[in-house]
Structure 1
Amino acid sequence: MTAMDTPADRTAARRSVEGLALGDAFGERWFPLFREPRRAFDEIRARRVPEEPDWHWTDDTAMALALLRVLEEHGHVDQDRLASCFALTHAADPARGYGHGMHMLLPALLDAPEDWRRLAPELFDGGSLGNGAAMRVAPLGAWFSPDLDQVVRQAELSAQVTHAHPEGITGAVAVAVAAALSARGEAGIAAVAERTPASAVRDGLLRAAALPFATEPWRAADVLGNGQRIRADDTVPFAVWTAVRHRDDLVAALWATAEGLGDVDTTCAVTGGIVAAATGVDAVPEEWLGRREAVPGT
């Protein structure tokens, strides 16, 4: 069976991107308070909803939407088309919070998207091992959820366009598998680790699988990482842990993830995309959805 023949769960993919965008926009709201981390932590622990009237999402959502567009057009990851969509998305709004590597790579792909094969491995002397491929991939996992082998393969293809380092690719695989299992009602950290290639990301997932859910999220972040190093292995294990800890409650999952501070828009985007692949956003307060920037196509 080819990717073109694999049944697509389009509904789960759309649910996932809605949750990803909500997590991204919600998490981004906390950054202004991070100059006072104790205050930010206290606000989150008290479950005080950010007061801004408009919750804008970042590059996490912008790139997830570009990836979903390619899946809707082709039914699989066409890497050159994906590179073109990423480049066009960046050019349309480069102030979405892209990392340094993407500011270098994506403009160079506007006129020659196929050059990702040469340019992506040159980033950071061997390719990026950051969390960018992982932050955008949950809708892909939901899309291919009927076939876990395709989830792994298509996640790898989606990551390679920007993240040539094995850890960056493996981070995307882990999140895609977590989202697929969520969409199937089979969420479990050990099951995610089982499908994740040997790597620092997999090692982190195994630590997460052994960490009791009674652990306070901020303590879990101390053990697993909270994304502040902007690496896949420092981001994915904690986000998967909070997603599985609150597999049926998107709002609780986002609050728990925010408690870890760090790269909170990305960790919340990852968690949101995983949980919402199953739950959608129907149980989210209308106030939150009304403030969150609209998601095209939904």
Structure 2
Amino acid sequence: MSAAPQSLQEARLARARQSLEGLSIGDAFGEKFFLSFELIYKLIEAGLLPGPPFMVEDEFIVEQIIFLREVPGEKPWRYTDDTQMAMSIIEILRQHEAINQDALALSFGARHDRSRGYGAAMEDLLPRLWVGVPWQGAAQSLFQGQGSFGNGAAMRVAPVGAYFADDLDAVVENARRSAEITHAHPEAIAGAIAVAVAAAWAWRLRDEAVMPGREEFLNLILPSVPDSEVLNRIVEVRDLPGYEEITVQEVTEAVGNGEEITAQDTVPFVLWCASQHLNNYEEALWLTVSGLGDRDTTCAMVGGIVAMSAGAENIPADWASTREPLPTWPFADE
């Protein structure tokens, strides 16, 4: 493809990096709410929780910490595989100005870091990509040949939507390309498209004096999402009672919260959360983590979307400084 004008490429990369900032901080924030017993005891000793911990359910403990708006654990906040894979997307967009699937497959393999908490399927797949196994067959072979419909394609894709936010057709096409490398199942592809389009629309709405409500925002996204269970559940969250009339727990009971680690039970909840606080990054993240489930991933997705509508300046400065520094390789050749 012909190279984009430098000014366009610079603007697109700046948007993608802004989304990555929101995604990575959300990822690291959400990860803090998976509690170890060691951390629970420290919180009890600090007087932040009643003890002993074995008398209450873990989720009850997390809910109490969220109610107090305390982020548990030590600093810095460490990011997970959500951010690690999103950084590969930034690298490829910088080098190719589009999702080059062969290059992205190699980057996913080369940048694979076992300490970041990948799922079992990716721990099997990514080393194969690194040694040059064709991604097409490798991705399709997962889960008895149906491909993965996990939420991993959607968790990393918001920067694609931000990068191509000026061209919705390109958002859909490049989101699909980014997903297929590891998640060949149509549900995973639909989930990735939905999150990318949400990030694109969030950027397009950034200067609105009044942000659209949930129904209006989701109606902007729905036409781009392929027929799927993901689509059906987005319609379901669109049609739920108003924010003041329903609890987060009722929403997660209806459509999921990522507990099953699938696109179907993650993306609709994410879009519901983002749509409630398009102009407030911090509130969007507290709402999202209160749904529990796969909380690093749901917070990563919401963070990557809402950073585009609320703006980088709306991300709490202390959260940004507390997330561990990102490496330089996504942003410049080493």
Judged with a 3 Å threshold, the aligned counterparts in structure 2 of structure 1 residues 33 and 42 are, in CA distance, closer, same or farther, namely farther
What is the distance in 2 between the residues matched to 1:278 and 1:149? 20
Give the number of aligned pairs: 294
- CA-to-aligned-CA distance 1:161-209 (integer Å, 9 cap, x gap): 0000000111100000000000111761121122101100001110111
Deviates more, 1:48-57 or 1:136-145: 48-57
Q: Match for residue 162 of structure 2?
A: 142
What is the deviation of 1:260? 0.4
**Which of 61, 79, 98 pairs up with 2:83?**
61
**Residue number in structure 2 paired with 1:120:** 139
- Counterpart in 1 of 2:243? 213
Rounded to whole Å, the distance in 1 between the matches of 2:313 and 2:4 is: 30
Report the identity percentage. 44
CA distance in 2, matches of 1:254, 1:67: 23
Q: Say if 1:151 and 1:176, in contact at 8 Å, map to a contact too.
A: yes
Q: 1:240 to 1:3 in 2, by over 3 A?
A: farther
RMSD: 1.8
Query: Residue 228 of structure 1 aligns with which residue?
Result: 259
SS in 1 for 2:266: helix
Cα offset, 1:54, TM superposition: 1.6
Instruction: Please identify the structure whose Cα radius of gyration is greater.
Output: 2
Deviation of 1:109 (Å): 1.2
Equivalent in 103, 108, 112 of residue 123 of structure 2 = 103
Within the alignment, does 1:260 sit opposite 2:291 as a pair?
Answer: yes
What's the counterpart of residue 192 of structure 1? 221
SS at match of 1:234: coil
Match of 1:70 in 2: 92
Deviation of 1:3 after TM superposition, in Å, equals 8.6
Q: 1:218 to 1:52 in 2, by over 3 A?
A: farther
The C-alpha deviation readout for 1:52-83, integer Å capped at 9, x for no partner, is: 22200000000000011100100001000000
Partner of 1:174: 194
Q: Matches of 2:282 and 2:31 in 1, distance apart?
A: 15
**Gaps spanning 5+ residues in structure 2: where?**
38-56, 207-211
**Runs of at least 5 residues in structure 1 that lack an aligned partner in the other structure:** none
Task: Write the distance in 2 (CA, Å) between the matches of 1:279 and 1:11.
Answer: 15
Cα distance in structure 1, aligned partners of 2:4 and 2:139: 29
Q: How does 1:14-25 map to 2 (within 5 A)?
A: 14-25=17-28
Distance (Å, rounded) in 1 between the aligned partners of 2:219 and 2:303: 19
In the TM superposition, what is the alpha-carbon distance from 1:94 to its structure 2 partner? 1.3
Instruction: Note if 1:86 corresponds to 2:108.
Output: yes
Q: Secondary structure at the match of 2:191?
A: helix
Q: 1:51 to 1:16 in 2, by over 3 A?
A: same
Q: Which amino acid in the other structure matches residue 194 of structure 2?
A: A
Judge conservation of contact 1:190–1:205 (CA < 8 Å) in 2.
Answer: no
1:218 CA drift (Å): 2.7
Question: After the TM superposition, which parts of structure 1 deviate over 6 Å for at least 4 consecutive aligned residues?
Answer: none
Give TM-score, length-normalised by structure 2: 0.84
Contact 1:66–1:86 (CA under 8 A) maintained in structure 2 = yes
Partner of 2:68: 46
> Match of 2:140, as an amino acid?
P
Change (3 A) 1:281 1:216: farther
Report the Cα distance in structure 2 between the residues aligned to 1:38 and 1:202, rounded to whole angstroms. Answer: 31
In 1, Cα distance between equivalents of 2:315 and 2:173: 32
